[in-house]
């Protein structure tokens, strides 16, 4: 079986090709209800349709952009012509605006610079929108509602939520249930014609009632799943962005944006609406999602158009929103892009394969059973010489045989197997959401259970991301500055010229900002590193706004993880130019040839001073401090904005040491990972000594582990990499390329299942390459989140461990359900087939088999696939990349339990009458005992399946209210069926002793299951079909 599944039902956990997805569909057969079976799989036809529409739309947009650019170049060479006079629609004018949504859309979508200029440029458009490029929109709710009515809201069209009755209709489309429905109808007609109403209708109504019960229970389960997925979809859409409204900057949902809003974009942000560039530096936009062009576009005052759905690849800017929601090109494209759905998960596909194999076997047995039963009837009639004359009773008997055969297919085809994966994943995803983990792709949830390696960032994941400057070395003086008093006294020790340089560097060479909020309180915006530096500057008595106004910022090169530095060029009040640089201490210090000494004088950086600074950096790093070097350079030879900021010739101002404490509980979480067989590696851009100190504190770096720097790692030969990669526990000063290379080697060379954390735009390739990409919800950019499979909402490493625990829980829960369902499949098939062959009749009727099908399918999945995780799961070794899903442990339990149940049922069939002292006329009572014993065997087997290896299966059972409810309801309904619904279900009321016997037979399966668990699996030959 495993070989067959690997050949035909194997897909990747992510990025599977369409050929691979189509292959298993072609092999998949014996499907009772395609609509339900394939509900949570990708719609390949829709994907092709959407791709075709997308390609067409992209081509139109690309041509429009190219044509508009060509037209602009042409217009620039000829005398300016008078533009067409724009007429403001009356409803727009009445609302207090001077430009309509259609006109705004055409300006940005067509990149029409001529039309933009005719409206007075960006400032003119802002004025016509009753907005300000400085203060944004007024916060008056009435005005905002008017604006919303005229220009729309920034929301995109979504598929309508399906009602409960849609799921009922889908459940009714089960082919076998339809056939049984026809059988029930014929049985009703023939029965009423023979025996009259109501006696003749009992059999038919019994089947109809059973079908409706199965349909409504199934539909209820599916509808609840859909509600869970809808809740998760809402969480995925919680995206915020920095917005200035009424002069105050704050975070706001992108879905509340309106034309005229001023938003702040940085590296890694998704542009949330169409808009116009207001101000900014070095802005590169990736428009490939819209235009198909791979080259990034430079956005500036000359090319001020930004389109929704594009990504900020570099730089930062302010943008004024012009067009929102479905009026944008991205809104139009998104409607087609979402129709294809998510890829199916590997377990879904594998269980579709299992269902196909067992379905074929069940169909074969059903046909043989029907043939044997019909043959018995025809043989009897042949001997009686009445084969040409048929009574109504014999016709009903033939119909019952057919119904039994069809019901065997119902029971044999485990349609619930693939759906149990979805049920378990939906349950786990909902619970993981409560544990601060948002699953974006279903497959990641189950893949995380097989993870063998986690490559984690340091900052914000292992540490708290709450940074403060605690030590500094300015003008060659080392000082602790943990408290404001210490910082104030330190300033008094420094020359004024040096303090002025330091504050100019801190307040100008930054991606952060100091603002006043609505409450009139000072607030620092920016990344934790920027916030820590700005706080340090303020503690030294600096004034952020005064420093910014004292010079003119003419060029900015934002920090990124490749350069590991940030630079700005300032135009000073005296007309001179000065560059400031800050970043990784070793890199910026290596760019310095001068230093500011203790007297505030600029002197050459001699060997003694250089060694002093290097020793200071190492001391700070060994104390687990993040170190940054600040430097400047007066540009006496001028500077062209087209050139990059110089990387050498700087003067070192000083070094700062930033403390970022390790998160509580990280050390314990790393220990849990180690006991679970998961290797944790720290991959960081920080100094190697800082990284090693933090790694030791977290328990990641051990005595036999290796800490290596990125540049050294990438220079290693293939043989050396093969030897050191298993031992690498820390990689410092790593670039995104180093992280990608490490992940690729771990996955391919060492067959590891790798989870990778990332927060920056440049982490996207590694997140995409990893088996599970984990983006940070707080510090992560939108580009990183788009590339990730799971978003860690609290940026906490302990949450990653929780995700791994849930992943293992999903995998094992589905194994439990498969073990339980295959046992029922085997016993039901063998009992009905062997009984039909040897006695000429089936012990379980169609109605009874439908009830058994519901126990093992929908109710079984609810009970076993929703077991919460336990700490014991993290004491097992991971399954890894090549683990068998249906393990030898499962086969041992399935075959052992099936053999016991078959023997019990068979003995009851042969000797049951004598055991209970029943007459031959009491065959209905005997069949009821057989049916009741069979059901209780499944109930107790369901309890035994809670743990496939441990004997104590009652541990934690009362904490799983779903399991207890399902078992209780099953027992209650079984009692009602036997005692009160005998007319419809072909059962007879049982005595107390008979009930006790049935329960005892079922319970006896539990000690047998416990004995089976004592049989070592290694003693069994590998079981393969």
Please identify every residue annotated as catalytic: 457
Confirm if 447 and 15 have CB atoms less than 8 A apart: no
Q: C-alpha angle with apex 239: 233 to 244, nearest 5 degrees? A: 155
Confirm if 74 and 81 have CB atoms less than 8 A apart: no
What would the two tokens of residue 836 be?
């039909």
Confirm if 894 and 827 have CB atoms less than 8 A apart: no
Q: 848-873 burial, b for 16+ CB within 10 Å, e for fewer?
A: bbbbbbbbbbbbbbbbbbbbbbbeeb
Neighbours of 570 (CB within 10 A): 23
Neighbours of 106 (CB within 10 A): 13
CA distances to 318, 546, 558, 601 from 549, rounded to whole Å, are 18, 5, 20, 25
In DSSP terms, which residues pair with 244 in a beta bridge?
249, 262
Name the residue with tokens 């039901």: 828
Strands 240-245, 754-758: pairing kind? unpaired
Residue 608: CB partners within 8 Å, gap ≥ 6?
none
Peptide linkage before 450 cis (omega within 30 of 0): no
Nearest to 813 by CA among 427, 365, 508: 427
Q: C-alpha angle with apex 693: 690 to 697, nearest 5 degrees? A: 140
Confirm if 412 and 358 have CB atoms less than 8 A apart: yes
- What distance in Å separates the CA atoms of residue 659 and residue 276, rounded to the nearest whole number? 39
Strands 437-439, 297-299: pairing kind? unpaired
CB-neighbour burial class of residue 479 (10 A; exposed 0-12, middle 13-18, buried 19+): middle
CB-neighbour burial class of residue 808 (10 A; exposed 0-12, middle 13-18, buried 19+): buried
Nearest to 683 by CA among 368, 462, 435: 462
> What is residue 305's DSSP assignment?
E
What would the two tokens of residue 655 be?
């070094």
What would the two tokens of residue 18 be?
């369409």
Name the residue with tokens 């009692």: 975
Name the residue with tokens 């053999």: 899
CB-neighbour burial class of residue 254 (10 A; exposed 0-12, middle 13-18, buried 19+): buried
Sign of CA dihedral 507, 509, 512, 517: positive
Residue 480: CB partners within 8 Å, gap ≥ 6?
470, 471, 486
Question: DSSP readout, 717-736?
Answer: -HHHHHHHGGGEEEEES--H
What would the two tokens of residue 414 be?
């485990």
**R_g of the chain computed on alpha carbons:** 36
CB-neighbour burial class of residue 809 (10 A; exposed 0-12, middle 13-18, buried 19+): buried
């Amino acid at each position: 079986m495993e070989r067959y599944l690997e050949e035909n039902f194997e897909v990747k956990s992510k990025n599977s090709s369409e050929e691979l997805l189509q292959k298993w569909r072609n092999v998949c057969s014996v499907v009772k209800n395609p609509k339900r079976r394939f509900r949570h799989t990708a719609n390949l036809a829709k994907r092709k349709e959407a791709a075709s529409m997308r390609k067409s739309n992209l081509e139109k947009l690309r041509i429009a952009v190219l044509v508009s650019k060509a037209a602009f170049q042409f217009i620039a060479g000829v005398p300016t012509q008078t533009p067409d006079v724009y007429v403001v629609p009356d409803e727009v004018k009445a609302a207090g605006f001077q430009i309509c949504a259609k006109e705004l859309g055409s300006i940005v979508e067509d990149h029409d610079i001529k039309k933009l200029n005719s409206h007075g440029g960006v400032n003119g458009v802002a004025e016509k929108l009753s907005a300000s490029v400085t203060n944004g929109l007024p916060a008056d709710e009435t005005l905002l509602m008017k604006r919303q009515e005229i220009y729309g809201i920034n929301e995109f069209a979504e598929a309508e939520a399906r009602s409960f009755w849609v799921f009922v209709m889908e459940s009714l489309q089960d082919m076998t249930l339809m056939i049984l429905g026809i059988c029930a109808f014929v049985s009703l007609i023939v029965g009423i014609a023979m025996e009259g109403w109501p006696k003749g209708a009992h059999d038919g109504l019994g089947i109809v009632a059973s079908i409706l019960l199965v349909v409504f229970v199934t539909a209820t389960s599916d509808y609840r799943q859909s509600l869970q997925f809808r809740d998760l979809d809402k969480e995925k859409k919680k995206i915020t962005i920095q917005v200035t409204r009424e002069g105050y900057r704050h975070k706001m949902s992108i879905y509340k944006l309106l034309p005229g809003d001023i938003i702040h974009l940085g590296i890694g942000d998704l542009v949330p609406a169409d808009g116009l560039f207001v101000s900014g530096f070095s802005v590169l936009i990736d428009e490939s999602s819209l235009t198909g062009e791979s080259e990034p576009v430079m956005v500036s005052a000359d090319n001020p158009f930004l389109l929704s759905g594009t990504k900020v690849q570099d730089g930062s800017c302010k943008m004024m929103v012009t067009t929102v929601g479905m009026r944008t090109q991205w809104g139009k494209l998104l409607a087609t892009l979402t129709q294809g759905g998510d890829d199916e998960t590997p377990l879904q596909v594998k269980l579709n394969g299992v269902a196909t194999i067992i379905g074929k076997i069940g169909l074969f047995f059903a046909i043989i059973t029907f043939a044997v039963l019909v043959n018995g009837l025809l043989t009897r009639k042949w001997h009686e010489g009445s084969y040409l004359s048929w009574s109504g009773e014999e016709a009903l008997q033939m119909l019952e045989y057919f119904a039994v055969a069809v019901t065997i297919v119902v029971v044999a085809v485990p349609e619930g197997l693939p759906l149990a994966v979805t049920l378990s994943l939906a349950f786990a995803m909902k619970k993981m959401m409560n544990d601060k983990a948002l699953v974006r792709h279903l497959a990641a949830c189950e893949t995380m259970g097989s993870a063998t390696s986690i490559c984690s960032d340091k900052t914000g994941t292992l540490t708290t991301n709450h940074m403060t400057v605690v030590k500094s070395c300015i003008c060659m003086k080392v000082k602790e500055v943990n408290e404001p008093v210490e910082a104030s006294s330190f300033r008094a020790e420094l020359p004024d010229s040096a303090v002025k340089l330091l504050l100019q560097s801190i307040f100008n060479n930054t991606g952060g900002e100091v603002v006043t909020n609505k409450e009139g309180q000072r607030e620092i915006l920016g990344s934790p590193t920027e916030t820590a530096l700005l706080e340090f500057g303020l503690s030294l008595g600096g004034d952020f706004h005064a420093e910014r106004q004292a010079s003119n910022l003419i060029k900015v090169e934002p920090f990124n993880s490749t350069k590991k530095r940030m630079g700005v060029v300032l135009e000073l009040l005296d007309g001179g130019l000065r560059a400031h640089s800050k970043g990784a201490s070793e890199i910026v210090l290596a760019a310095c040839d001068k230093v500011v000494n203790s007297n505030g004088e600029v002197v050459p950086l001699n060997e003694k001073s250089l060694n002093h600074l290097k020793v200071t950096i190492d001391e700070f790093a060994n104390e687990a401090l993040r170190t940054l070097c600040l430097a400047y350079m007066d540009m006496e030879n001028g500077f062209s904005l087209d050139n990059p900021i110089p990387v050498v010739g700087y003067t070192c101002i000083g070094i700062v040491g930033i403390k970022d404490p390790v998160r509580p509980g990280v050390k314990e979480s790393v220990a849990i990972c180690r006991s679970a067989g998961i290797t944790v590696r720290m991959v960081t851009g920080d100094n190697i000594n800082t990284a090693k100190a933090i790694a030791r504190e977290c328990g990641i770096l051990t005595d036999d582990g290796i800490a290596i720097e990125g540049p050294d790692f990438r220079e290693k030969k293939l043989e050396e990499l093969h030897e050191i990669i298993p031992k690498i526990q820390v990689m410092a000063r790593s670039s995104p390329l180093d992280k990608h290379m490490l992940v690729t080697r771990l996955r391919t060379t060492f067959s590891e299942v790798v989870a990778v954390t990332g927060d920056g735009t440049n982490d996207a390739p590694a997140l995409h390459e990893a088996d599970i990409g984990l983006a940070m919800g707080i510090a992560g950019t939108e580009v990183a989140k788009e590339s990730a499979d799971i978003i860690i909402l609290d940026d906490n490493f302990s949450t990653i461990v929780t995700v791994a625990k849930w992943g293992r829980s999903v995998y094992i829960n589905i194994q439990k359900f498969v073990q339980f369902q295959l046992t029922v499949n085997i016993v039901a098939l063998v009992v009905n087939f062997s009984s039909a062959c040897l006695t000429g009749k089936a012990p379980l009727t169609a109605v009874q088999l439908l009830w058994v099908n519901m126990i093992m399918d929908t109710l079984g999945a609810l009970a076993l696939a929703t077991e919460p995780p336990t700490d014991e799961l993290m004491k097992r070794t991971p399954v890894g990349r090549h683990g068998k899903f249906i393990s030898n442990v499962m086969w041992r339990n399935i075959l052992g339990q099936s053999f016991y149940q078959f023997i019990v049922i068979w003995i009851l069939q042969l000797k049951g009458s004598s055991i209970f002292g029943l007459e031959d006329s009491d065959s209905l009572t005997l069949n009821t005992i057989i049916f009741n014993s069979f059901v209780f065997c499944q109930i107790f087997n369901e309890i035994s399946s809670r743990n496939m290896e441990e004997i104590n299966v009652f541990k934690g059972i009362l904490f799983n209210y779903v399991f207890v409810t399902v078992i209780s309801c099953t027992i209650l309904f079984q009692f009602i069926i036997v005692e009160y619904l005998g007319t419809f279900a072909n059962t007879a009321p049982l005595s107390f002793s008979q009930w006790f016997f049935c329960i005892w037979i079922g319970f006896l399966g539990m000690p047998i299951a416990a004995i089976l668990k004592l049989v070592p699996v290694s003693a069994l030959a590998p079981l393969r079909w």
